[in-house]
């Protein structure tokens, strides 16, 4: 399997042509990556952000190969945040602030710049047939942009706001 792996100190990207095949465990699915997007976070990881080493990439659309009979063959995207489900934050439903949280391709979990990756089944979301891969790959950055709105207190529908910046999240 091919995978783009961040390794070394300082970090450098290496194309591994014989990377180990991921194997899904209980509650996980093996996903064949159809398309992956490059994010500013991926570039920041190369500069040492989050001190991550491993397969990067977190914006992707894939097809379930194994590990989930209900989703087998389905096109999917994923919530990249893998919370522990046991800490106080998770118990309050604040899973994006879980102190034990792993993040696909960013913190503690292999990402999507590979032919295949393993994703917990409960993090997978089916992609409707009416949405092509080139649009579906934007599910994660769109979710991130919308999550910013959840973090704003006192802003109501119709309130004027300013979006500063011309990056992907600002455009979305």
Domain ranges of the chain: 3-154+164-171
Q: Rounded to whole angstroms, how far apart are CA atoms 61 and 134? A: 9
Q: What is the pTM of this model?
A: 0.91
85: its two tokens: 């489900």
Please compute the mean of the pLDDT values over residues 132-138 and round it to a whole number: 98
Residue 100, φ and ψ in degrees, nearest 5: -100, 5
pLDDT digits (tens, 9 = 90+) for 72-116: 999 999 999 999 999 999 999 988 889 999 999 999 999 999 999
H/E stretch holding 35 reads strand 28-37
Q: What pLDDT was estimated at residue 62?
A: 99
Instruction: Using the CB atoms, write b or e for 91-125: b if 16+ within 10 Å.
Output: eeeebeebeebbbbbbbebbbbbbebbbbbbebbe
Which among 10, 2, 94 has a CA at the least distance from the CA of 57? 2
pLDDT band at 17 (very low <50, low <70, confident <90, very high): very high
Answer whether CATH 3.40.50.970 is correct for domain 3-154+164-171: no
Query: Residue 65: is it exposed, middle or buried by C-beta count within 10 angstroms (0-12/13-18/19+)?
Result: middle
């Amino acid at each position: 399997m091919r995978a783009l792996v961040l390794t070394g100190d300082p970090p450098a990207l290496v194309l591994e042509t014989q990377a180990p095949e991921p194997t899904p465990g209980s509650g996980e699915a093996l996903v064949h990556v159809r398309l992956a997007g490059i994010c500013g976070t991926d570039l920041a990881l190369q500069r040492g952000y989050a001190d991550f080493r491993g397969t990067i990439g977190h914006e992707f659309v894939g097809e379930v190969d194994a590990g989930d009979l209900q989703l087998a063959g389905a096109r999917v995207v994923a919530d990249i945040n893998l919370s522990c489900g046991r800490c106080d934050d998770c118990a309050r439903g604040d899973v994006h602030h879980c102190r034990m949280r792993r993040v696909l391709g960013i913190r503690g979990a292999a990402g999507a710049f590979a032919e295949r990756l393993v994703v917990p089944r409960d993090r997978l979301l089916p992609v409707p047939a009416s949405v092509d891969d080139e649009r579906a790959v934007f599910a994660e950055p769109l979710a991130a942009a919308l999550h910013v709105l959840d973090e704003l207190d006192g802003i109501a529908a119709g309130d004027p706001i300013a979006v500063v910046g011309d990056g992907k999240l600002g455009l979305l």
